[in-house]
Structure 1
């Protein structure tokens, strides 16, 4: 009985994670920061979500100078070999993003952050 209960719990957690990932990909990233989708992988999901919680839109990145953004995002990204180059690339991607310009305190960004926290 315990093994069956554990299996059911694992199944429900997997379903929930999949729903959240689909919600992020189909609703939030597509509208607000579509270029970031290429960095979402299961091995990077944790730091990816932390980065988007801190910088959910291109506007939230571009309000800082490149060096300031790199400094603020340094500890969020995790252990990467070329972290400096990666963060500078994210900054450049944000500069040329086709995402919708939305207010950082808006309802859409708030719901996006809620999904990222889940």
Structure 2
């Protein structure tokens, strides 16, 4: 992935997921909007580079791009929920569902490009 392609992917992910996290954390768990936005940005700034700069490139030569993407996507949403739980100490099931929605939206929209 080129630097420009990576930055576009990261930007799109943040544009989609951060507001979903902010709104979901506020509406479902009573977290104020700004801390929810910061939490959404933070978990993505941790998982996105690890996923797309390390894990996908390491797996892709062995299993191909689409299986590598599937491994990453199936791992990222529980990881983000776990980080949110460690930070916010809110209902883990709700955090898992919110992370699934946020990541599913960004994956789906990213695949449309």
Structures share a fold, TM > 0.5?
no
More relative contact order, 1 or 2 (CA 8 Å, 6+ apart) = 1
TM-score by length of 2: 0.34
Q: In terms of Rg, which structure is larger?
A: 1
TM-score by length of 1: 0.33
Bigger fraction of residues in helix: 2
